[in-house]
């Protein structure tokens, strides 16, 4: 589908075959991203990962993210943080047992705390303010701005009503992130001074993380000062990528857990099977570790089906770097390209009963979310595929919620009438929060 949005050409791809052509066969041609005035201001002139142009700078930053920030070792190092926050979530829900609770709000608070503690370590007193800033920024970035429709008009950009709001938000964001970075630098300098005189074998890599290891800010500062980068980075670049990780890491994880719980409540047979698996495998256990997730085969299917029905980013944004042709259609350079992952995940040509929540559809079919099955792209595909999908682990929180509680909707609300409308934003979160009543499950821990 070819649309004209003001001065911009926009192409919408809703076919897995054509998506494969764009995201794999001609991936370098469609590896660009087109930003907006909102993303340019809030994400530091597009020096982040999500909106940066496809160039040497982007390749270097992605390499840092993949090898340093989001490596398997680094992600595993945050396991204790995730476990601690999940236990806090369970404790919070138990304190309101039998009473209506806003589960959406509790899940979001838990995941934002996990992301903040992993990124900023012990220095995270402004988490709630950051959350509000990114929520407001996401709403503005998802909307239509007249200046974006007519980018050649300097007058529209100059007198944009959103511009003042965006710069006010940017100044608040700067103040918070600058303080976090400055405190990290001061602490690292003090640690370095304390380590002087130690033998190389005695000195270990220390940081501002809660266990004395490196958090994500520490990693970035180390890489920045290493002298090994082809393209030097500055503090603005660090703030840009941290903004990516905090906003995306929180939204994707929380919305996946939230949608999974809503679908399970609407589908009691699926809920019963998922709970039976978790409670049988972990009978007598008080804690579910991330290493235990491989045992929960049905829960994995539930998460896959949740990502199919509620794709985290419904429209995967790309931009063409040059004139090209796909399937006989001419696509001009600089065209905005949107791969409609939401539509492809619900296309009856590829999915039986696509509007039904059926985790069993993923049994024995080998389909995963690594970008190789183009009818199923919850995290994208190709060069611009989300590098942080291993960070947003939904399995442990979901397993704990199913293990520890039975769930019901509020009195008077039938599961068939539960509002499942998706929010119209960059990520497909619930439009209406999920209110439920949790009944604690009494476990026998004598096993």
Q: Per-residue DSSP letters for 194-240?
A: HHTTS-TTT-----SSTTSS--HHHHHHHHHHTS--SS---HHHHHH
Strand 405-409: give its sheet, edge to edge.
100-102, 435-440, 405-409
Q: What angle do CA 19, 20, 24 make, to 5 degrees?
A: 120
Q: What angle do CA 427, 335, 338 make, to 5 degrees?
A: 25
Question: Under DSSP, is residue 339 helix (H, G, I), strand (E, B) or coil?
Answer: strand
Q: What are phi and psi of 32, to 5 degrees?
A: -85, 165
- The CA distance from 66 to 82, in Å, is 20
Nearest by Cα to 101 from 431, 434, 414, 397: 434
- The CA distance from 368 to 378, in Å, is 10
386 annotated among ligand-binding-site residues: yes
- The CA distance from 345 to 203, in Å, is 51
DSSP H or E segment with residue 105:
helix 103-120
Question: Which amino acids are annotated as binding site for heme, given as ranges?
Answer: 386
Question: Which amino acids are annotated as binding site, given as ranges?
Answer: 386
């Amino acid at each position: 589908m070819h649309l004209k949005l003001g001065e911009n050409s926009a192409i919408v791809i809703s076919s897995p075959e054509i998506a494969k052509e764009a995201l794999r066969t001609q991936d370098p041609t469609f590896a660009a991203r087109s930003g907006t005035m909102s993303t340019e201001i809030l994400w530091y002139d597009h020096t982040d990962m999500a909106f940066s142009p496809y160039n040497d700078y982007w390749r270097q930053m992605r390499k840092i993210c993949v090898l340093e920030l989001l490596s398997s070792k680094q992600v595993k190092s945050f396991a204790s943080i995730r476990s601690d926050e999940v236990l806090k979530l369970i404790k919070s829900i138990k304190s309101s047992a039998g009473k209506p609770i806003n589960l959406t709000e509790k899940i979001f608070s838990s995941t934002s705390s996990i992301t903040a503690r992993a990124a900023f370590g012990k220095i995270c007193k402004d988490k709630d303010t950051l959350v509000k800033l990114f929520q407001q920024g996401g709403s503005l970035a998802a909307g239509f701005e007249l200046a974006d429709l007519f980018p050649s008009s300097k007058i529209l950009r100059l007198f944009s009503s959103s511009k003042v709001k965006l710069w006010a938000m940017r100044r608040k964001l700067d103040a918070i992130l600058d303080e976090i970075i400055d405190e990290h630098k001061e602490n690292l300098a003090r640690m370095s001074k304390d380590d002087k005189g130690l033998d190389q074998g005695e000195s270990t890599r220390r940081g501002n993380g809660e266990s004395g290891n490196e958090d994500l800010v520490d990693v970035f500062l180390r890489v920045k000062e290493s002298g090994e980068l082809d393209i030097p980075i500055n503090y603005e670049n660090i703030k840009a990528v941290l903004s990516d990780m905090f906003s995306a890491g929180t939204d994707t994880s929380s919305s996946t857990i939230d949608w999974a719980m809503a679908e399970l409540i609407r589908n009691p047979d699926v809920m019963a099977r998922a709970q039976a698996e978790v409670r049988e495998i972990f009978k007598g256990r008080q804690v579910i570790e991330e290493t235990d997730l491989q045992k929960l085969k049905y829960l994995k299917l539930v998460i896959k089906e949740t990502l199919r029905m509620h794709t985290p980013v419904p429209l995967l944004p790309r931009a063409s770097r040059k004139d090209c042709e796909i399937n006989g259609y001419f696509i001009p350079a600089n065209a905005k390209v949107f791969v409609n992952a939401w539509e492809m995940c619900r296309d009856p040509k590829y999915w039986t009963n696509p509007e039904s929540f059926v985790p069993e559809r993923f049994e024995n079919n080998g389909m995963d979310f690594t970008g190789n099955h183009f009818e199923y792209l919850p995290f994208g595909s190709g060069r611009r595929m989300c590098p942080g999908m291993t960070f947003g682990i939904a399995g442990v929180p979901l397993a704990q919620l199913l293990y520890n509680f039975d769930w019901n909707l509020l009195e008077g609300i039938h599961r068939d009438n539960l509002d499942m409308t998706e929010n119209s934003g960059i990520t497909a979160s619930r439009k209406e929060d999920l209110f439920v009543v949790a009944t604690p499950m009494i476990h026998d821990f004598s096993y």
